[in-house]
Structure 1
Amino acid sequence: MGSLSKPFSLLLISLVLFTNLEPIPFAESASDNTALVYKGCAKQAFSDPTGVYSQSLSSLFGSLVSQSSKARFFKTTSGSGQATISGLFQCRGDLSNADCYNCVSKLPQMADSLCGKAIAARVQLYGCYILYEVSGFAQISGFQLLYKTCGATNVAGSGFEERRDAALQVLENGVVSGNGFYTTSFEAVYLLAQCEGDLGNTDCGECVKSAVQKAQVECGSSISGQIYLHKCFMSYDYYPNGVPRRSSSSSSSSSSSSYSSSSSEGSTGKTVAIILGGAAGVGFLVICLLFARNLMRKHDDF
């Protein structure tokens, strides 16, 4: 199954090694890219009497922020020896370079205020995340569940599970063909998935498949769900009345065309209804005028 069957070098959050893995109210708006989703901080803090760790971390953050104006994913290391710190950032695949930079530039200060001098940390915003670890930090599986949130509304019955599961199958296939990022709507379900930028297509597909299975189990008949694993995440939102148009761009042409088609059909239906309604109103007015005219003629005959 490739590299995902082995420990990763950047493995940051586990229930044993991390404390304060706190859920944050999930950002529903796609434009609210800098809203905090969750954070994970290592229990252990580094001892830094000479400031060498702080210098390495500051240099790492500087490199990550500067690269975020050019790319949506970047991994690097800073420092040397025991003070070596590895880290990366990733932005959601539909963000522009400017939006990515705006998102990532907020993460260093947030990591510092949320985790202090933790030897490893991960801070996840709606549109991007950052993670770092000091050399020698323990490792976890790429399929490790870091965070989940499920919609409070349940929609059991009415074929919901069948629709959702069919849509999730489309997501599993699409993220592989989409080279690690995919978003689309299918059967009134809006879906999004993304893998860490250096993950191969096969491993990405396996990771998202694992996330999908966890969503089905963890969220049950919830109207929406978001599952964050160490190396990928996915989300789904069910809209019984049809998926609304979204301002963010889609990575797939099929997704874009389905949005356009859906919107076009809705606009056409409204236009026809307006025309028919207007014609009916004019017809009714003509009938009223003719009736009044006949009454006046009868009155004149008297």
Structure 2
Amino acid sequence: MALPTRKFSSPFVIFLILSIFLVAPSYSGTDTFVFGGCSQLKFTSGSQYEYNVNSILTSLVNSAMFTSYNNFTMSASGGFSAVYGLFQCRGDLNNRDCNRCVAKALSQIGTLCFYSTGGVLQLEGCLVKYDNVTFLGVEDKTVVVKKCGPSFSSYSDALTRRDSVLSYLEAIDGTYKPFRISKSGNLQGVAQCVGDLSPSECQDCLSDAIGQLKTECGAAKWGDLYLAKCYVRFSEGGYHSHAGKNKRFRHLFNGGSSYLFLFIFLFNLV
């Protein structure tokens, strides 16, 4: 993807431009906002760090044309911090939809995290993150989103099916499956780890998320639990969280820079 040679006043302007061409309006099932946040630290326009962020984010959207996960590092030089970045798409997306989702996420994170040294954004179909503190290969089970639906009116059978779905998502069959889906009747579930985790770290993250989801959501018709490096979701029939109705930022720490997650309502970026 050829980039213009002119200097951009913002490291994210390029992604706002790219999104016009790459992102279809309201891509159902992939571009609904789930969570996001920005580092409280800012960088200076025209700095080497700005160039590094541009390079990382360009690499992310380009790579999403060919694969569902990748990470990149721009090494520290001349007194400027390194930049680390990754993207991951939901395991059932094809390359075209993955690329569209990542481009959409980058256009939104550029607006929300203007000049921030780090940012993270999770849409229904993809995750993007960059930072000046390494997070690659680091297991992180911080709870980022926890939401539960209304309870079943008669839930004995529903609980059995829910437990069956979640047990399947947690099961180990000797192969590494960072993306997992399961179904029992009209109750379905999905789970995914971020691709920088090892198989054992992925399993540990999912087991923790599933255990918390069972405890917190009880007999709910749907439940979402996003940890920093994995998520588990289940839903019964047509019921689900419809996360995009209220754009929501929460607070997340990951051992380095602190991320400020604000609560934003009636703020439509689509």
- Give the TM-score normalised by structure 1: 0.63
Name 1:75's counterpart in structure 2: 71
On the 8 A contact 1:176/1:204 being kept in 2, the answer is: no
Structure 1 Cα separation of the partners of residues 226 and 154 of structure 2: 24
Name 2:40's counterpart in structure 1: 43
Q: Which runs of 5+ in 2 are unaligned?
A: 1-25, 239-270
On the 8 A contact 2:74/2:82 being kept in 1, the answer is: yes
Among candidates 229, 232, 240, match of residue 231 of structure 1 = 229
Which of structures 1 and 2 has the bigger CA Rg?
A: 1
Deviations 1:20-54 (A, max 9, x none): xxxxxxxxx994211211111122223x1542221
Among candidates 177, 180, 201, match of residue 178 of structure 2 = 180
Residues 175 and 117 (structure 1 numbering): CA distance in 2 closer, same or farther, change over 3 Å?
A: farther
Q: Compute the displacement of 1:108 (Å).
A: 2.0
Matches within 5 A, 1:44-123: 44-46=41-43, 48=44, 50-81=46-77, 82-123=80-121
Name 2:216's counterpart in structure 1: 218
State yes or no: 1:190 paired with 2:188: yes
Q: CA RMSD in A?
A: 2.7
Q: Which runs of 5+ in 1 are unaligned?
A: 1-28, 241-302
Name 2:123's counterpart in structure 1: 125
Among candidates 146, 151, 163, match of residue 148 of structure 1 = 146
The one-letter code sitting in structure 2 at the alignment partner of 1:56 is N
Structure 2 Cα separation of the partners of residues 115 and 165 of structure 1: 39
The one-letter code sitting in structure 2 at the alignment partner of 1:225 is G
Q: Compute the displacement of 1:80 (Å).
A: 2.4
Structure 1 Cα separation of the partners of residues 93 and 195 of structure 2: 14
On the 8 A contact 1:175/1:181 being kept in 2, the answer is: no
The one-letter code sitting in structure 2 at the alignment partner of 1:199 is L
Q: Secondary structure at the match of 2:171?
A: helix
Structure 2 Cα separation of the partners of residues 52 and 119 of structure 1: 12
Q: Compute the displacement of 1:228 (Å).
A: 0.8
Of 173-182 and 50-59, deviating more is 173-182
**Structure 1 or 2: more helix by fraction:** 1
Q: Compute the displacement of 1:199 (Å).
A: 2.0
Structure 2 Cα separation of the partners of residues 186 and 201 of structure 1: 26
The one-letter code sitting in structure 2 at the alignment partner of 1:45 is K
Q: Compute the displacement of 1:136 (Å).
A: 6.5
Deviations 1:94-145 (A, max 9, x none): 00000000111122221121121222211001000100111468x9851111
Q: Secondary structure at the match of 2:156?
A: coil
Deviations 1:259-301 (A, max 9, x none): xxxxxxxxxxxxxxxxxxxxxxxxxxxxxxxxxxxxxxxxxxx
Structure 1 Cα separation of the partners of residues 233 and 31 of structure 2: 17
Structure 1 Cα separation of the partners of residues 169 and 134 of structure 2: 35
Residues 115 and 156 (structure 1 numbering): CA distance in 2 closer, same or farther, change over 3 Å?
A: farther
- Give the TM-score normalised by structure 2: 0.70
On the 8 A contact 2:45/2:115 being kept in 1, the answer is: no
Structure 1 Cα separation of the partners of residues 230 and 134 of structure 2: 23
Q: Compute the displacement of 1:90 (Å).
A: 0.1
On the 8 A contact 2:138/2:197 being kept in 1, the answer is: no
Structure 1 Cα separation of the partners of residues 151 and 197 of structure 2: 34
Deviations 1:133-182 (A, max 9, x none): 11468x98511111122223444633332321222111101697462111
The one-letter code sitting in structure 2 at the alignment partner of 1:64 is L
Residues 69 and 140 (structure 1 numbering): CA distance in 2 closer, same or farther, change over 3 Å?
A: closer
Matches within 5 A, 1:262-281: none
Deviations 1:202-232 (A, max 9, x none): 2211111111111112222210011111111
Report the identity percentage: 30
Structure 1 Cα separation of the partners of residues 231 and 70 of structure 2: 17
Q: Secondary structure at the match of 1:57?
A: helix
